[in-house]
Structures are given as structure tokens and as C-alpha cells.
């Protein structure tokens, strides 16, 4: 799996985790708000029921007070009150109940024509509801909650009753409402909240899946686009490498043809001339011809080449051989120069400064330019890659300055300190248009090679300034502190332990 695919997979996984967390947070918030809303709705329903019950009981108490103020016997008035209360129904299952001051039942569902529902009688064993109602009434009245048989369904249901005492005869009058309708409303509210939560989760999940798919498609398109761009870059790089190789081969061929080959050809001519001198010495030619064909007259040989005639006078064989040896020595020097340009041995043996100094000394006689090299400070130890990169930058910059800049002087400076190395090549030539060269995809290969060589090293900078007054190329390297390097070298490799040196046996 490529880095881009891993990045895409990690991004998709991260987005999926984020959406799961968002879904959980939203679900938790919705459930919390739903519970709070349910409590508020329940409180509103209960408050409404309590208010309704108070209204009914106050209405029954007002009826009792109005009849009790009438004329007639008390027993008749009491029967009239009970008859009026028994006819006062509210809702499907609402009715009044009445106790006297001693806790005896005066009005019950049976006397109201409600079948299947008994009234709680304090005299019955285990009738805690009646005692709760009477105790609450004597305590000043209020709400009492308990479970009782609902007339319409003949099933037990939660009920809320309101009781109070009547001042005329000390009766306890009350009314009750069943709470199962509130439970149904709350159940419907819970179902609606669950449906809303489920719909929200489905929408979030669909949105998360759509987002992940969109990210995947976008990442795939981005990966394809980057693959095309990378492929194009690789093709350009391959063409650049091939072009660089061809340029290097052309340079080496040119160096060999213009230098080494010419010297070798001249040496060959001198040796051949010396050979003719030796072969045409007195007595040698006759002996040679006799050995070749004793019956043949050399003066009448039609195959004798014209070039084998007597060499010019004044060229002794010893002088020609000496001159040929000098030319061979020059060829060796030229070969060493070309070899040093390809891979300087001094770079590995004596360091970067010595290799740069030799490069400048070799180029100085070939050009009518004031070519100088300066070493400043102490050059720290560099790796092979760092030395090679800086040397190649110096080679390319010097080649450009000596070939294209038409400069009067070129200065090469190598400066160093404990943690920094800076190589500067500057000249006073006419410069060039840097933006145009960078924009040209076919040209400027040397500049790109210099920049890429330096930027491939860690902690490096490549700076170039050019203009009508000259060109300045600077390569800087930031090195690790010596103590850090010492600790790094002293640190044992993972999995290895320091072992003391083995003792040699005594002689």
C-alpha cells in the first residue's frame, strides 16, 4: 500500500470515528433532552390533573355548603347532599367519595351506579388507601396517589385523589382521577422521541457514509492526479538523467578528443618518424630487405610506400623518442585531469578543500581569467555525500562562469566553522535571466542539478543571485554538534551489548 493510499485510509477511518463520536454525542444529547422534556410534560400533566381535581372537589364542597345552609332536618340535608354528589360525574371514570368524621363510608361507587368497583373502607383489613385519604384530609387536605380499580377497564391503574374536610358536618369529601391516560401520553411521547432519535441517527449515518464515500472518491481522484503528475515528473527526471549522462559523456569525449587523443596522435607520429630513422640507417635497410626477400632488388620494389622515404634531416631518433616520451607524459597528465574531473581521488583522501584547490589550479592555465580559491576558518569533517555534492556544485558553477559568463575574475571560497560549511562561487560576468532559465523545461539542467544535489542533504540551503554585475552561487550545510555526534557514535546499536576485549593468553 502506497503512502497516499495509507493517508486516504487513515483519513477515512478518522472521519468515520469522528462521525461515530458525533452520532453518539447527538444521541446522548437527544436522549437527555427527551428525558428532561418528558419530566416537564409529566409535571405539566400532573399539575393539570391536580388543578382539575381541586376544581372538582371545590365544586362538590360548594354544593355541600349550599345545601347545608338550607332549611330542614340535618339528616334530610345530608341525604340531599349525598344524592347531589352521586349525580356529579366527570369524565368517564370520575366520581366523588365521602367519609363522615368517624371514617365511615357515606358515598361509594356502588351508590352511584358504578359496578365492579369497591370503595376503600377503613374498616376493611389491609385497606391502606382509605386510611391515607382520611389522614391527609385531617392534615389539611391534599393529593394522595395510589393504585385502584378503574371502572371503565375493570383493571388496576394509578390514581390521584384530592381530599379535604367540610366544616358543616366534619365530612371528608374527595375526588380522584386515573393517571393511565398520562402514562399513555408519556408512552406516545417516548415513542415519538425514539422515532426522532432513530431518524436522526439514520440521517447522520447516511451523511457519514456519503462523506466517507465523497472523501474516498476525492482521494482516489487526487491519487490518480498525483500519480499522473508523479509519472510525468519521473519521466522528466528520466529524461533529465539521460540528458545529464549524454552531456557528461559528450564532455568526457570532448576532453579526450581535444586533449588526450591529440597528444597520443602526436606521440604516435613522433615514434613512427623515429622508427623510419632507425629502419633507414646505413646497412639496416639492405639487411632488412635481404631478410625479407634475398632475390628481390629493393630499388625495383613497386610496393614500397612513398611515406617510407627518408625522413627530414635534422631529426635524430634520440630526439624524436625523447619528444614522444614527453608527449606521452602530457597524455598521462591529461588523463589524470579528466579522471580527477570525473571522480577526484583527493576528495576522499585529503578532503574537499584540497580537491577544490586542485580543480582551480587545473583550470587556471586553460582560461584567461583571474581564478582564485580561498579557504576560511576550519572545515569540519564532512560525509562522502556532502563532499561530493559541494564539489559537483563547484564544478558546475565554475564551468558556467568560465564558459558563459565572460567574467574577468572568478572567486571560489570555502568557509567553515564548528557547525556550518559554506561554499561560494562568484564572478563579475554579465549574468543571466534566472526566471527564464527556471521556466524553460529543456534548459537549465545544470542549475537544477546543483539545487537538487544540495537540497537532498539534510540541513542545507542553496542560494543563487545573478544580474548584470555578476553571479553568486552559495551552498550552505548545517552540521550536527560534535557532542551529539560523539554520543551518537558512542551509543551501542540496538540489541547489542558492550563486551570487554578478549584477553590474550600469556606468551
Grid cell digits, residue 34: 427527551
Spell out the domain ranges in the chain.
3-178, 187-289+314-331, 346-489
Q: Pick the range with the lowest mean pLDDT from 137-141, 274-278, 389-393.
A: 274-278
How confident is residue 442, by pLDDT bands cut at 50, 70 and 90?
A: low
pLDDT of 374 reads: 94
Please compute the mean of the pLDDT values over residues 367-376 and round it to a whole number: 90
In the chain, the largest separation of any two C-alpha atoms, in whole Å, equals 191
pLDDT of 283 reads: 52
Query: What's the mean pLDDT when you consider all of the chain?
Result: 76
Q: How far apart are the first and last CA of the chain?
A: 61
Q: What's CA 344's distance to the chain center, in Å?
A: 42
372 in Cβ contact with 360 (< 8 Å): yes
- The secondary structure element, H or E, covering residue 101 is none
423 in Cβ contact with 411 (< 8 Å): no
pLDDT of 210 reads: 82
State the Cα–Cα distance between residues 359 and 366, nearest whole angstrom: 12
pLDDT of 316 reads: 72
Say whether 168 sits in a helix, a strand or coil: coil
425 in Cβ contact with 435 (< 8 Å): no
pLDDT of 341 reads: 61
Q: Pick the range with the lowest mean pLDDT from 189-203, 459-473, 482-496.
A: 482-496
Q: Pick the range with the lowest mean pLDDT from 71-85, 144-158, 417-431.
A: 144-158
User: Three-class SS string for 261-273?
Assistant: HHHHHHHHHHHHH
pLDDT of 2 reads: 63
pLDDT tens for 274-290 read 777 777 765 554 444 54
Please compute the mean of the pLDDT values over residues 209-213 and round it to a whole number: 79
| Position 502 pLDDT exceeds 60 | no
Strand partners, 150: 155
- Domain 346-489 has what CATH class? alpha beta
Task: Name the CATH topology of 3-178.
Answer: Beta-Lactamase (3.30.450)
CA angle 320, 324, 325 (to 5 degrees): 120
| Position 494 pLDDT exceeds 50 | no
pLDDT of 498 reads: 41
Cite the beta strand spans of 59-201 per DSSP E: 96-99, 105-107, 142-150, 155-165, 172-178
402 in Cβ contact with 364 (< 8 Å): no
pLDDT of 495 reads: 42
329 in Cβ contact with 368 (< 8 Å): no
Please compute the mean of the pLDDT values over residues 435-449 and round it to a whole number: 72
pLDDT of 125 reads: 44
Instruction: Choose among 129, 140, 130, 142: nearest CA to 57.
Output: 142
| Position 424 pLDDT exceeds 90 | yes
pLDDT of 217 reads: 82
Q: What are the distances in angstroms from CA 61 to CA 96, 112, 122, 353? A: 10, 18, 22, 118
Kindly report each contact of residues 224-229 with a partner whose C-beta sits within 8 Å and lies 24 or more positions away, as own/partner: 226/4
Please compute the mean of the pLDDT values over residues 236-243 and round it to a whole number: 70
Please compute the mean of the pLDDT values over residues 392-408 and round it to a whole number: 87
How confident is residue 209, by pLDDT bands cut at 50, 70 and 90?
A: confident
Amino acid at each position: 500500500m502506497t503512502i497516499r493510499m495509507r493517508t486516504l485510509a487513515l483519513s477515512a477511518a478518522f472521519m468515520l470515528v469522528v462521525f461515530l463520536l458525533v452520532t453518539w454525542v447527538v444521541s446522548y444529547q437527544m436522549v437527555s433532552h427527551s428525558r428532561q422534556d418528558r419530566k416537564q410534560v409529566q409535571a405539566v400533566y400532573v399539575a393539570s390533573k391536580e388543578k382539575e381535581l381541586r376544581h372538582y372537589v371545590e365544586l362538590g364542597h360548594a354544593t355541600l355548603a349550599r345545601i347545608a345552609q338550607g332549611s330542614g332536618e340535618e339528616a334530610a340535608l345530608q341525604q340531599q347532599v349525598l344524592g347531589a354528589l352521586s349525580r356529579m360525574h366527570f369524565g368517564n371514570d370520575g366520581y366523588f367519595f365521602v367519609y363522615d368524621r368517624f371514617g365511615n363510608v357515606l358515598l361509594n361507587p356502588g351508590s352511584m351506579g358504578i359496578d365492579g368497583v369497591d370503595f376503600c373502607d377503613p374498616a376493611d383489613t389491609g385497606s391502606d388507601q382509605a386510611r391515607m385519604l382520611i389522614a391527609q384530609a385531617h392534615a389539611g387536605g391534599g393529593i394522595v396517589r395510589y393504585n385502584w380499580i378503574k371502572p371503565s377497564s375493570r383493571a388496576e391503574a394509578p390514581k390521584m385523589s384530592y381530599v379535604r374536610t367540610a366544616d358543616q358536618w366534619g365530612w371528608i369529601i374527595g375526588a380522584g382521577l386515573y393517571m393511565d391516560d398520562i402514562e399513555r401520553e408519556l408512552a406516545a411521547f417516548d415513542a415519538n422521541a425514539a422515532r426522532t432519535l432513530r431518524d436522526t441517527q439514520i440521517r447522520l449515518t447516511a451523511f457519514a457514509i456519503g462523506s466517507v464515500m465523497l472523501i474516498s472518491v476525492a482521494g482516489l481522484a487526487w491519487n490518480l492526479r498525483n500519480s499522473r503528475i508523479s509519472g510525468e515528473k519521473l519521466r522528466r527526471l528520466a529524461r533529465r538523467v539521460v540528458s545529464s549522462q549524454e552531456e557528461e559523456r559528450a564532455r568526457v569525449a570532448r576532453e579526450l578528443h581535444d586533449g588526450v587523443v591529440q597528444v597520443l596522435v602526436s606521440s604516435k607520429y613522433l615514434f613512427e618518424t623515429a622508427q623510419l630513422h632507425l629502419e633507414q640507417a646505413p646497412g639496416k635497410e639492405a639487411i632488412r630487405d635481404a631478410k625479407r626477400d634475398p632475390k628481390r632488388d629493393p630499388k625495383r620494389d613497386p610496393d614500397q610506400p612513398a611515406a617510407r622515404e627518408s625522413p627530414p634531416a635534422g631529426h635524430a631518433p634520440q630526439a624524436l623518442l625523447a619528444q614522444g616520451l614527453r608527449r606521452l607524459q602530457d597524455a598521462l597528465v591529461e588523463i589524470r585531469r579528466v579522471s580527477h574531473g570525473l571522480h577526484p581521488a583527493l576528495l576522499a583522501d585529503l578532503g574537499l578543500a584540497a580537491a577544490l584547490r586542485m580543480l582551480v589550479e587545473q583550470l587556471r592555465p586553460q582560461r584567461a581569467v583571474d581564478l582564485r580559491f580561498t579557504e576560511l576558518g576550519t572545515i569540519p569533517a564532512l560525509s562522502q555525500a556532502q563532499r561530493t555534492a559541494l564539489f559537483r556544485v563547484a564544478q558546475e558553477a565554475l564551468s558556467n562562469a568560465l564558459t558563459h559568463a565572460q567574467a574577468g575574475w572568478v572567486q571560489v571560497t570555502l568557509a567553515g566553522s564548528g557547525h556550518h560549511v559554506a561554499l561560494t562561487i562568484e564572478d563579475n560576468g554579465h549574468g543571466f535571466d534566472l526566471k527564464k532559465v527556471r521556466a524553460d523545461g529543456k534548459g537549465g539542467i545544470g542549475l537544477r542539478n546543483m539545487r537538487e544535489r544540495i537540497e537532498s542533504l539534510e540541513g542545507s540551503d542553496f542560494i543563487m543571485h545573478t544580474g548584470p554585475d555578476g553571479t553568486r552561487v552559495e551552498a550552505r550545510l548545517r552540521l550536527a554538534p560534535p557532542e551529539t555526534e560523539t554520543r551518537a557514535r558512542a551509543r551501542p546499536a540496538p540489541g547489542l551489548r558492550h563486551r570487554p576485549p578478549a584477553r590474550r593468553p600469556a606468551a
